[in-house]
Amino acid sequence: MARRDSGLRFQPSGGTRATQVPTGKKQRLNIERLANDGRGVGFVDGRTWFVSGSLAGEDVEARVLGAHGKVVEARTERVFETSALRRTAACPHFGQCGGCSLQHMPHDEQLALKQRMLADQLSRVAGVEPEEWAAPLTGDEYAYRRRARVAVRWDAKAKRLDVGFRAASSQDIVAIDQCPVLVQALQPIIKALPAMLKSLSKPQALGHVELFSGSANAVLVRHTAPLVDADLHILDAFCQAHAAQLWLHGEGEPQPVDAGAQLGYTLEPWNLMLAYRPGDFVQVNAQVNTAMIQQALSWLAPRSDERVLDLFCGLGNFALPLARIAREVVAVEGVDAMVRRAADNAVSNNLHNVRFHQADLSQPLDKATWAVEGFSAVLLDPPRDGAFEVVSRLRKLGAERLVYVSCNPATLARDTVELIRQGYRLKRAGILDMFPQTAHVEAMALFEASK
């Protein structure tokens, strides 16, 4: 039976829906200011545009990457009127590669942007400003990154292997043969890597490739199917030619081809060597990492008769230097494999006054057996989610001083609210420029218990 047309027509509630801005559309606009993430902000037809690669005061042509509601995300295609601050990017892939977003901005302006971001979060969320602002902790602008993940994808239709870094706001892969933020030791490897991978007979088996530089250089190949002998020979020969270890990651944990291969990094001021395996978390910026530890120890000021707690301790990056000073260090980490490797690092460095424990750090810790004695000082370095559940009970541990190292100012500000509620005051804060040429902000804050 045919459906009868009643003649009625219905409009969606809320009135006529506004036409969405199509992806790929080009728009000329003026950039009025910078957002906290370094993107330029402009306004067209009642919409707010966030434009990467632009600076305040510039007149640009932007290409739309995506739009939702009244917000448009775009990237700079052309600059008609240039800011006096603009500089030429050091990398030819800037603007396409998603790794760096601020190469067009002078380094001192990058630092000022990150400082504003931290200050804004503390003021807006926590309603507080530190009693003292510390100078930014900085290192080299370029050639600082000692670890990188290279994307690899087989295009079955084109019968082509794409090798490079992920594009900005996209899953596309930007072909690369250089990366100025990588440490010098990895530059020859990344330059020769694409051609070598494309020479493999079964590139479909590749997942991704990671590069490491520490006590040795290393190449980790993630594979989703067994590698054939001919391809293993090519990979091994490539690594030997570049004096690098070859690690393979199929099922289970990554394994070195040479069973005796050791990978690690040094903390020279404390005469320490920390072993790690690909997949473990390590700070990518060795120079700033060392300066960060020095500053954290200076701010925390542990005494030789004190018991100190290190939360989210990882491989012992803070715990082992602390053990050179304090009477006793208790270090806690959520990942059991990291706890075991941290304990091994303590033994290999002949440190016997530090104890490592595995615990769920999303839960309060004041009832743990190792916490009963309390601590004079606490250092914590949580992931981006912060440490709200942990800090909610810190005052019960008796800590007089607390150093909080953060990779997310938003969660640092949220946790600051809780610490102030417990009677701590924000004594000092500052940024750590762990990732130059990006808008990523790391910070350090010192809290002291009110007398």
Q: Is 271 left (phi over 0), alpha (psi -120 to 50) or beta?
A: left
Which residues contact residue 279 at a Cβ distance below 8 angstroms, ignoring those fewer than 6 apart? 249, 253, 254
Question: Are 290 and 432 in the same domain?
Answer: yes
Residue 363 confidence (pLDDT): 82
- Would you say the C-alpha torsion 357, 360, 362, 368 has a positive or negative sign? negative
53-93 pLDDT, tens digit per residue, is 999 999 999 999 999 999 999 999 999 999 999 999 999 99
Rounded Cα distance, 129 and 420, in Å:
12
Q: Around Cβ 126, how many Cβ atoms within 10 Å?
A: 18
The domain that holds 308 is classified in CATH as 3.40.50.150
Q: Are 424 and 398 in contact (CB under 8 A)?
A: no
3 state SS of 304: coil
Residues 151 and 134 in one domain: no
Residue 135 to residues 6, 54, 207, 444: CA-CA distances in angstroms?
A: 72, 27, 41, 11
Q: Is residue 216 part of a domain?
A: yes
239 is annotated as an active-site residue? no
The two most distant CA atoms of the chain are separated, in Å, by: 91
The answer as to whether 409 is a domain residue is yes
Short-list 384, 382, 397, CA closest to 313: 382
**Residues 165 and 122 occupy one common structural domain:** no
Q: Does residue 127 sit in the same domain as residue 152? A: no
Q: Judge whether 420 lies within some domain.
A: yes
Q: How many domains does the chain have?
A: 3
Average pLDDT over residues 334-353: 96
Q: What is the pLDDT of residues 106-159, one digit of tens each?
A: 999 999 999 999 999 999 999 999 999 999 999 999 999 999 999 999 999 999
Among candidate residues 256, 277, 298, the one where a domain is terminated: 256
pLDDT tens digits along 40-57: 999 999 999 999 999 999
CATH code for position 50: 2.40.50.140
Q: How many CB atoms lie within 10 A of CB 120?
A: 14
User: 425 and 445 share a domain?
Assistant: yes
Q: Cα–Cα distance between 280 and 105 in angstroms, integer? A: 32
Last residue of a domain, one of 256, 274, 299: 256
What CA dihedral angle connects 424, 429, 435 and 436, to 10 degrees? 170
Is the residue at 95 inside a domain?
no
**Same domain? 176 vs 51:** no
Residue type, 261: A
Q: What is the pLDDT of residue 366?
A: 74
User: Is this model's pTM higher than 0.75 or not?
Assistant: yes
**β-pair partners for 429:** 133, 445
- Structural domain boundaries enclosing 35: 21-86
- Chain centre to alpha carbon of residue 285: 10
Identify the bridge partners of residue 218 per DSSP, sorted by sequence position: 212, 245
